[in-house]
Structure 1
Amino acid sequence: MATPEQKRILVTEIPGPKSVKLHEQRGAAFAAGFGVSLPIFVAEAGGGIVVDVDGNHLIDLASGIAVTSVGASHPEVVAAVQAQAERFTHTCFMVTEYESAVDVATALNRLTPGDHEKRTGLFSTGAEAVENAIKIARSYTGRSAVVVLSHAYHGRTLLTMTMTAKNVPYKEGFGPYAPEIYRVPSPYPFRWVGDPDNVAQEAFDQLVDVITSQIGAHNVAAIVVEPVQGEGGFVVPPDGYLPKVAAFAKEHGIVFVADEIQSGLGRTGTMFAVDHEGVVPDIVTTAKALAGGMPLSAVTGRAEIMDAVAPGGLGGTYAGNPVACAAAKAALEVIERDDLPAKARRIEQLAKPRLEALTGEDSWVGDVRGRGAMLAMEFVRPGTTEPAPEAAKKVAAYANAHGVLTLTCGTYGNVIRLLPPLVIGEDLLADALDVLEAAVATLA
């Protein structure tokens, strides 16, 4: 199938009549707990365009939540999936082995930060990767406590849901939660209540205080940090914070885990978001963009840490599925060969100034932040930092209705995030930004 025409085309209202009818059918068939950002049904997608069943071409600023970085139907990924599916779809890597899984692990060992000896384990979902990173850290250290940040998001399973900060919709009614999870303040510059010029040091001091006074550093197995917080609002830690945390972890024998599931593999303009400050984590978790849309995740870390778990202690029926591994090999080759981190930097260069121009004393856009193609606008009541989720919702609805697929996020539901495919055309990106500017103008 050819890549859809890379142009925004509106044939019907959004959603169109076919999508509306299918959405009604969904309501009768699917559990209500599954939400949806935009109730359209997709017929095809590729490059920077999603085509719905009514024939509308929408500009994709979501990438399936940072998954389709190489596009939703990159021909090399498609060909790899087709070829592998013809050979075999599954055997279970814990039963019989296949070369593609080893190839993906080898590539991740090479691409992740640091030149130390590494090992990788392959799994299916991001939450599964985080859970296994915690299992590995606990096995290696013999400790149980795990430290995470406020505004964090790490998944929906029991352990990762506990590690996630936001209550509604991720935790409400699902307790009791997993034990031995401790939370420290996130260095959130826009909302920091202390010295705005000293956020990194003050947040680090608070982390140290909580660990030393409330937990005991000798009881902490892992500190888990998103180098750019995703669901919590695309919060970028100020320079210096991550290096301080990594150094503290090393000093106290704590495993420092970088959750790069949303920020990794080129999304922020470097291969991994920690690369911006030269931080070398003990463990890196990846998923989302790893396999170009197929379900695959990974835990990559120092060999001595990863090998602390005895054979049989890690795995899963679908862990490192061969079709997903074939897709990952192709996607990783495209990311490297086509230098998609540079494409992400170009997206930031084009988009961020236009977004920043929307801020001001009288603007509902209180903050613009992010790195590479992981950008966000935080909406507040003008002249304050009071969250304005209704403004974010209105802007997103306007953009969606005019053919630009957007996502909201943030602890307060007041952030619009931009996650375009890294292969999006510049004209298409410019058109999407035109629509977003018009959407923000409606708030006046």
Structure 2
Amino acid sequence: MASQRPPTGPSKKGIFAASLVGTSIEWYDYYIFGTAAALVFGSLFYPEFSSVAGTIAAFGTFAVGFIARPLGAAVIGHFGDRIGRKSMLVLTLLLTGGSTFLIGVLPTYAAIGIGAPLLLLVLRLIQGFGVGGEWGGAILIATEHASPRRRAVYGSFAQFGVPIGVLTSNLAFLAVSGMSDENFMTYGWRIPFLISLLLVIVGFLVRSRLADAPEFQKAKQENTVSKVPAAELFRRRPRTLVLASLAAIAPPAVGYTVIVYMLTYGTMVVGFERNTLLTLILVSTVVWMGVIVASALLSDRFGSKKIYALGALTAVLWPIPMFGLVNTGDAGLALLAFIVAAIVQGIMAGAQGGLFTEIFDVHFRYSGIAIAYQLGGMIGGAVTPIVATALFGAYGSSLPIACYVMGLSLVSLLAVLGLRQNGGSVRDERAHAPTAETEPAA
């Protein structure tokens, strides 16, 4: 009995640290790019464009990272299902952190011309590729160590990384935004990117002590590791993959509307000060983290699917009131808008790890949850700031933007409800014998 669990298996604190610290660092890296895209990249890397076109171009570079994320999810997920979760988590940390640091030393358009936005694009692609495999591995390193009744709680360890990434990235920019505009545009914006190197070192030390979960190690010992996990996934659970991908759209649709687009909309349209918006978003992330805990506990009690569906429903209902409150120009009402948006995201985040773990079998689970999460992120997060900017430019109103976010959230709500019939539980999956696509682990 005792031999089933490796003697070097991490403690609960170790799992929490590895899942939380690494994911927080990865999302810090990712979100500072979004903040910089909203505040400085348009003028520094696309100065030949008009103000609106430059912003759209900067958000386009931001969106490229999302395009790379499904590819990273597929490639890293493949090796995560073949080799192990731990090694891939170390790789994602190095890819994301290294590219983020290099962005901090990147020359601008004024220095090297067209080479600047091209290099920015390449580094963003590498960053997105690394992030693509991060979430799935961080979720699994936690949930696969948990009993079925505690999977949502364990899965929430990694989910804290998203709001913490938002919190720390905003704090980093808030710390340098007090500089004069000249100093901020010259070197101040680089500081948050350069700090990434120190954070990566911390994350590497934590993750290097990880061990894969007994469930995955058992699959390797029994020689049932899939030869081509993605192929088996598409053959056995295509509808589950599609529905999970659609269900994953709502959280980034709401999240990136607030933490990326609102920085542009709130300053350029409504007239808020940059520091004010950063502070309001920062405060709301504290609520976000608290709601993740409550949602995870409720998910383990009542079911992850029910709680996630509730969160998706609130995501459908909130966009119009949110923009209405921000449009008043009152900081208190804007804070209320962001806090409720944080609650909306927290409900879904607390349930998502447990839900996604249970609908995919261990043999292709890393690939399944990583691809689904990143496809949803690409649809909900990559294009939302671009579409929002274009919609406001065309109509001069926030209502079309709110309706767009509502529509994306409605898709997620319908998809998660559809998982009742099409999502196979872990117990259902284990009833199937290994297929011909499995081979002895290397």
Using the size of structure 2 for normalisation, the TM-score is 0.28
Considering fraction of residues, name the structure with more strand.
1
Structure with the bigger percentage of helix: 2
Greater RCO (CA < 8 Å, at least 6 residues apart): 2
